[in-house]
Chains A and B, each alone.
Chain A
Amino acid sequence: MRPGLWPGRTPHKALALTETTAARVSLPRSFLALWRDLRFLQALAQVAFLVLLFAAGRWLVGNLLTNLEARGLDLSFSFLNRTAGFRVADEALSMGRTDTFRFAFLVGLVNSLQVVVLGLVLTTGLGAVAGVALLSSNWLLRTIFRTYVEIMRNTPLLVQLFFLYFAIILKLPSLENRLSLGPLALSNRGLFIPAILPQAGAGAWLLFGLAGVVLAVVTYRRLLGLRISQGRETHPTLWAALPLLALPWLGWVILPGRPLSLGIPRLEGLNMAGGTRLSPEFAGILLGLVIYTAAFLADIVRAGILAVPHGQRDAALATGLSRGQTLRLVVLPQALRVIIPPTTNQYLNLAKNSSLAIGVGYPDLYAVSQTIFNQSGQAVQMIALMMGTYLLLSLLISVAMNALNARLRIVDR
């Protein structure tokens, strides 16, 4: 830009070049120019932001410490060693009245992890099936799944949970009028299934099973190698299945006594005894999360499949692959690259949404933490601990999904 053209608006950089103008304009001009200098303004904004952030942080910390001091509280975590005095209902870890707050927190964590881990597995399955079904050429199937996805995606999760738990699960018949199907029993006290109880010979039988697995793997690899090197059909899967099934059967027959027995649930007093129970609360939160999250996943899977160029499918079909093989071997592996990043978000949502479990009475991490801070009065520590735990859980899921994403990336050659 030429300085002479814009006498009133000359940028200061240009001013420095022409000595005469610089002398004439001097102080007020350069001052004016400074606050119009973009670089200066950007630096100023950054400094101002940092100062504000620091001041806000200082104020918050100061406020926290003043309030804690005023109430005679400190930030130590030693209260976790105190006796909890209450019980948390759970199947995995049994908690007594005299256990500590720390143990109660652990029980809550295990309860949450059960929901999250099982939820992730089931969501992935249902989401994948629903995603493929959304693209089905069958009108009925496609419409059913489209309706499911739209209803679930567009209503709040908490409302769905309440509906599922109070209007469906708790409306099941009572324990006295339970629905029985052979050894299975369904009531509003839970789903009761036979328990597998290991007996005296269970260890030895397990060894038979292990040997079967090892033999199966060895057979499969050997036969697969033969097929690749010699080009003749050796049926590796068929032969590998033989030891996998035969050895445990042999063990079952030759070992004295039965290694496993079934515990059949039966009514004893107010409860069912002898079986395994899936509690209504666990079922409520698990199914609620799975059905909700899988609806989001379904559309992600659908989009991922559509993102694979159509030519890939045509080419695969042209080489003689069946429709199933095309989907499994050609389309899905490529679609996964598109599917995985948004899926990570949905997995994280599922993990975090598991904290809604208290709404249906399931004692998860959040519910137990709330009880602990109500009983101990140590709200700051408990909220920090709870947030730290959820943060850790989410980061673990992120790291795992990022690793998977990195593995599936197209390798540049």
Chain B
Amino acid sequence: MLRKTVLPLAFAALLGLVLVLGACQPVEPEVREVRVVETQQVEVVQTQQVNVPVSFVMESARLQTVKDRGNVRCGVNQSVPGFGFLSEGTFTGFDIDFCRALAVAIFNDAAAAEFRPLTAAERFTALQTNEVDVLIRNTTWTFSRDVELGTDFGPTTFYDGQGMMVRRDSGFSSLDDMGGATVCVLAGTTTELNLADAFTSRGLAYEPLVFETGDETVAAYNEGRCDGLTSDKSQLAGLRTQTTTPADHMILPDTMSKEPLGPVWAQGDQQWGDIVRWVVNGMIIAEEKGITSENVEAMVASPPADPEVSRLLGLEGEFGNLLGLTPDFMVNVIREVGNYGEIYARHLGPEGTDIPREGSLNALWITGGLLYAPPWR
């Protein structure tokens, strides 16, 4: 009797231990070695920064690695229509185009962008282990991610927020009408926390119904099991197209959270960060100044009176050289990929997933939105 109980018990305990240990993914020793080398180089760069005055042009270790390799590796999403979507072997989307812009800025070749589809759980590990150079994948800028995970966040390319999709005939016009509602939630994000906060702060009861995949969540919502479906508004727009009749559903105006999305890179290489940051800023400035992929060559040929346009297009100053790039890198970016507005219209406009830009946070600051790039001088 004793043998009978103890043996399976001991075996089960051993098996459990092995499985628990196996659950932690092993890191390739090769990769770790690379990381150590890079950290050392970064320290050297930082020392130089202290000693040498501003005029010194820093060499980015990451930029050198990228140039030697011949392409930029971006961690992207492959299943969010409009942002990062893989269909028939091609990546398309808003985030994808920012990666292409980066490849054009460095290599003057949009094909030099290599995409690594990453899940939400893998993305930071991929960045920490140098598997990708930059992460452009619907990633929300938060305190703990910025400080604790050893990552840096670039300029926000899309101001997102958690929203609620409901049926048009439900009679809901805002979250305040939804007392007692059942809400379908996709598991494993901050969505559940924001939902709890939103309903608690309004003093409303609700019932969460958590599913593991987006398909199941939409299916349960489609069948009327829940009164609302909550997710980031950018994703809701994509999910709405998966409902049986998209026109019967609407997204409530309430925003339950702030979700600024933008590019992310590993901490430690400031100059690499500068490149990513100013390529994005340059695309926003280009829209503000009316420089498009159509007219950029004409503008280079006969520059307008605005000196900032001349500086952006590399006709004045040494901005490209300071980043370790060619002087006309923004001309290439705008010609090949377009300005911010063009990318938005291409993927999130009426032809894409249709997220209204007019009057939203994602409009340019001159039209009342939040998109505001620092001056190019």
A binds B: yes
Interface, chain A (partner B; CB < 8 A): 57, 60-61, 63-64, 66-68, 70, 72, 85-89, 97, 166, 170-171, 174, 188-189, 269-271, 280-281, 358-359, 361, 363, 367, 370-371, 374-375, 379-380, 383-384, 387-388, 391, 395, 398-399, 402, 406
Given contacts A170-B223, A367-B187, A391-B13, 14 further A-B pairs with CB under 8 A are A60-B21, A72-B148, A89-B207, A170-B220, A188-B223, A188-B225, A270-B178, A270-B179, A358-B210, A359-B212, A359-B216, A370-B188, A375-B190, A402-B4
CB distance from A356 to the nearest CB of B (A): 10
B19: min CB distance to chain A, Å: 7
Q: Mark B311-324, 1 if CB is under 8 A from A, else 0.
A: 00000000000000
Q: In whole angstroms, what is the CA distance A383 to B197 when docked?
A: 27
Contact A361 B210 (CB under 8 A): yes
CB distance from B226 to the nearest CB of A (A): 9
Distance in angstroms between the alpha carbons of A257 and B22 in the assembled complex: 63
A67 and B188 within 8 A (CB): no
B352 at the interface (CB under 8 A from A): no
Q: Which residues of A contact B209 (CB under 8 A)?
A: 89, 281, 361
Q: How far is the CA of A382 from the CA of B184 in the complex (A)?
A: 24
B147-184: CB near A (< 8 Å → 1, else 0) gives 01000000000000000000000000000001111101
Chain B residues with Cβ below 8 Å from A63 are 21, 24, 26-27
**Interface membership of B20, Cβ < 8 A:** yes
The answer for the CA separation of A376 and B197 in the assembled complex, in Å, is 17
Taken together as a complex, chains A and B put the C-alpha atoms of A361 and B192 apart, in Å, by 14
- Does chain A have a CB within 8 A of B367? no
Question: Once the chains bind, are B208 and A86 in contact (CB under 8 Å)?
Answer: yes
Q: How far is the CB of B204 from chain A (nearest CB, A)?
A: 11
Which 10 pairs of residues, A with B, have the shortest CB-CB distance? A60-B21, A170-B223, A86-B192, A374-B188, A270-B180, A85-B193, A97-B196, A64-B24, A269-B180, A89-B207
Q: In the complex, A97 Cα to B198 Cα: how many Å? A: 11
B12 contacts the other chain (CB 8 A):
yes
Cross-chain contact A174 with B196 (CB below 8 angstroms): no
In angstroms, Cα B196 to Cα A370, docked, is: 17
- Write the chain A residue with the least CB distance to B189: A374
CB–CB B23/A379 < 8 A: yes
Distance in angstroms between the alpha carbons of A391 and B12 in the assembled complex: 8
Chain B positions within 8 Å of A, measured between CB atoms, are 1, 4-5, 8-9, 12-13, 16-27, 148, 178-182, 184, 187-190, 192-193, 195-197, 200, 206-212, 216, 219-220, 223-225, 227
- Shortest CB-to-CB span from B37 to chain A, Å, is 16
In the bound complex, what is the Cα–Cα distance between A399 and B9 (angstroms)?
11
**Who on chain A is nearest to B5 by CB?**
A399
For the complex formed, measure the closest distance between the CB of B119 and the CB atoms of chain A, giving whole angstroms: 12
Given A166-B219, A174-B224, A395-B12, A380-B188 contact (CB < 8 Å): no
Given known A-B contacts A188-B225, A391-B12, A395-B12, A384 and B20 have beta carbons under 8 A apart: yes
Nearest CB of chain B from residue A341's CB, rounded to whole Å: 12
Which residue of B8, B193, B216 is within 8 Å of A86 (Cβ)? Answer: B193
A-B contact pairs, 7 of them (CB 8 A): A60-B22, A87-B196, A166-B223, A280-B225, A367-B212, A370-B187, A398-B8
* A85, A86, A383, A388: residue with the most chain B Cβ atoms closer than 10 Å: A86
Contacts of B200 in A (CB 8 A): 97
In the bound complex, CA of A61 to CA of B22 (Å): 9
Give Cα A133–Cα B216 distance, bound, in whole angstroms: 37
Known contacts A64-B24, A67-B27, A380-B20, A375 near B193 by CB under 8 Å: yes
> B17 to chain A: which residues have CB within 8 Å?
57
Q: Are A391 and B24 in contact (CB under 8 A)?
A: no
The answer to whether B181 and A270 have CB atoms under 8 Å apart is yes
Which A residue's beta carbon lies closest to that of B170?
A270
Residues A367 and B210 in contact, CB atoms below 8 Å apart:
yes
Nearest Cβ distance between residue A108 and chain B, in whole angstroms? Answer: 11
B203 to A: closest C-beta gap in Å: 12
Instruction: Specify which chain B residues have a CB less than 8 angstroms from the CB of A363 in the assembled complex.
Output: 210
With a CB–CB cut-off of 8 A, which chain B residues contact A359?
212, 216
State how many angstroms separate the Cβ of B36 from the closest Cβ of chain A: 11
**Is A57 in contact with B18, judged by CB distance below 8 angstroms?**
yes
With the chains together, A70 CA to B29 CA distance in Å?
A: 13
Contact B212 A358 (CB under 8 A): yes
Bound form: Cα–Cα A68–B220 in Å: 38
Give CA–CA (A269, B204) in the complex, Å. Answer: 13
**CB <8 Å contact, B24 and A380:** yes
Please indicate the chain B residues that have their CB under 8 angstroms from the CB of A57 in the complex: 17-18, 21
A97-B207 in contact given A67-B27, A189-B182, A380-B23 (Cβ < 8 Å): no
In the complex, what residues of A have CB within 8 A of residue B196's CB?
85-87, 97
- Measured in the bound complex, the distance between the Cα atoms of B23 and A358 in whole Å is 20
Chain B hits for A171, CB < 8 A: 223
Residues of chain A contacted by B21 (CB below 8 angstroms): 57, 60-61, 63-64
Cβ–Cβ contact A391 & B223, under 8 A: no
Interface centre among B1, B24, B179, B190 (most CB of A within 10 A): B24
A166–B27 Cα distance when bound, in Å, is 40
User: Please, which residues of chain A bring their CB within 8 A of the CB of B216?
Assistant: 166, 359, 361
Chain B residues with CB below 8 A from A188, complex form = 223-225
Complex Cα distance, B107 from A62, in Å, reads 42
Q: A170-B223, A387-B19 are in contact. Are A361 and B211 (CB under 8 A)?
A: yes
A271 contact set on B, CB distance < 8 A: 180, 182
A170–B227 Cα distance when bound, in Å, is 13
Instruction: Assess the B27–A388 pair: CB atoms within 8 A.
Output: no
A190 and B216 alpha carbons, distance in the complex (Å): 18
A residues near B182, Cβ cutoff 8 Å: 189, 270-271
- B187 lies within 8 A of A374 (CB): yes
CB proximity of A79 to chain B, nearest CB, Å: 14
Q: Report the minimal beta-carbon distance from B85 to chain A, rounded to whole angstroms.
A: 24
Of B12, B13, B181, B187, the residue contacting A371 (CB under 8 A) is B187
Of chain A, the residue at the smallest CB distance from B219 is A166
Give Cα A406 to B8, complex, Å.
17
Contact residues in B for A68 (Cβ distance below 8 Å): 24
Docked pose: A374 CA to B193 CA in angstroms: 11
B18 A361 Cβ-Cβ under 8 A? no
B20 and A358 within 8 A (CB)? no
What chain A residues lie within 8 Å of B184 (beta carbons)? Answer: 361
Chain A residues lying within 8 Å of B4, measured Cβ to Cβ, are 402
A189→B369 CA distance, assembly (Å): 41
